[in-house]
Amino acid sequence: MKKIKFLLLTALALILIPFSASAETTVADAVIHVNNNLPVFFVNGREDVDFKQYFTIRDARQDVIVEDDYMDLGGFDINVSGKYTIKIEYTGSNGRSVNRSLNVEVIDEDVEAPFVSGALDEYKVNVNTTIEDFYRRFNARDNVDGLIVFTNNDFIEGIDAVDVSIIDSQYEVTVRIVDSSGNAFERPGIIRIVDELEPYIFGVKNITTRLGKEVDYKSHLVFQDNYDEVDELVIKYTYLFNNEETNGIDFNKIGEHTVRVSATDTSGNISTVEQYRVIIENGLSLPALVLIINGIILVLGAVVLFVAITVRKRSKE
């Protein structure tokens, strides 16, 4: 009987091995990505284009270098105006081919200005923030130059005069970008320094005390605002005990007292309401109780040691 079972299990294993092996060796198709941040319009007669940089290949979790052999430029000629289709084909490690294509055009002349998203007639900048945050609202793209990244004030005339520390001040600026062909985008606007950021409350944590022992349940909180000093904030506390609102913490009532706190700055911005608990226990607190128990254990240990030493001395006598 055992021999029959052994033969059956062996046969089953032989059947399953090919399936498990094929499952382990299955490799997904390679993936080709197209970089859409690069331009697809080119001016007739300018420098030739390396289209390999437009594509990235990922195969078997590895990056693959794009080779000329993978590319089909479709007769692209930078000196001949017209539309072209650039193709790429790659055979992955699993033996299957993948391909992508990209439509491009050679134009006689570039007369189109860059497009800038985020350019407005008026901007609000929060007081005491960094002006670098202002650049992040812009995104520029040109038909020939591709993606243009805002990294400094070269594209914003008048930005150097902006003082973000003066609330309610305003400044005239102009967003201006010129592409490689001399086409310019311009849009004037006004920056207003405002305060629309709410205060923050840090250090929120629960507090535990004993019945009848009052503790300071506010000093651990830290308040911060981008413009106002702490003493200028209006800090509001509300209290709940047994789901009923109270006027404060009654340290003679055992249980969990809920404290809710918020802060309002001089501009009317209100912080998120933070919540924590003041827990009043009956009798000794848990840390004190642990300390007493540890003390008792030490005393008992000393007594046992003393008795053991005494008994040993007497036995020797």
User: Three-state DSSP class for 261?
Assistant: strand
Phi–psi pair at 310, nearest 5 degrees: -65, -45
Domains contained in the chain, number:
3
Statement: residue 104 has pLDDT above 80: yes
| 151 or 258, which is more confident | 258
Q: How many CB atoms lie within 10 A of CB 278?
A: 19
Tabulate helix, strand, coil % of the chain (nearest 5): 25, 35, 40
Calculate the alpha carbon distances from 180 to 65, 108, 152, 175 in Å. Answer: 30, 15, 18, 17
Which whole number is the average pLDDT over 101-108?
96
Band (23; pLDDT cuts 50, 70, 90):
very low
Q: Which of 147, 171, 194 is the last residue of a domain?
A: 194
pLDDT, tens digit (0-9, with 9 covering 90-100), for 152-210: 667 899 999 999 999 999 999 999 999 999 999 999 999 999 999 999 999 999 999 99
For position 287, what pLDDT does the model report? Answer: 65
Least confident window among 24-33, 147-156, 160-169, 214-223: 147-156
In this structure, the answer to whether residues 205 and 276 fall within a common structural domain is yes
Band (133; pLDDT cuts 50, 70, 90):
confident
For position 7, what pLDDT does the model report? Answer: 52
Residues 213, 251 contacting (CB under 8 angstroms): yes
Domain of residue 237 covers 200-281
Q: Is residue 181 part of a domain?
A: yes
| 297 or 265, which is more confident | 265
| Alpha carbons 144 and 162: distance in angstroms, whole number | 32
Which whole number is the average pLDDT over 141-161?
85
- Strand arrangement of the beta sheet that strand 146-148 belongs to: 115-117, 139-142, 146-148
Q: Is residue 305 part of a domain?
A: no
Q: At 214, which CATH number? A: 2.60.40.10
In this structure, the answer to whether residues 174 and 209 fall within a common structural domain is no
| Ranges of H-type helices in the chain | 2-24, 132-135, 286-316
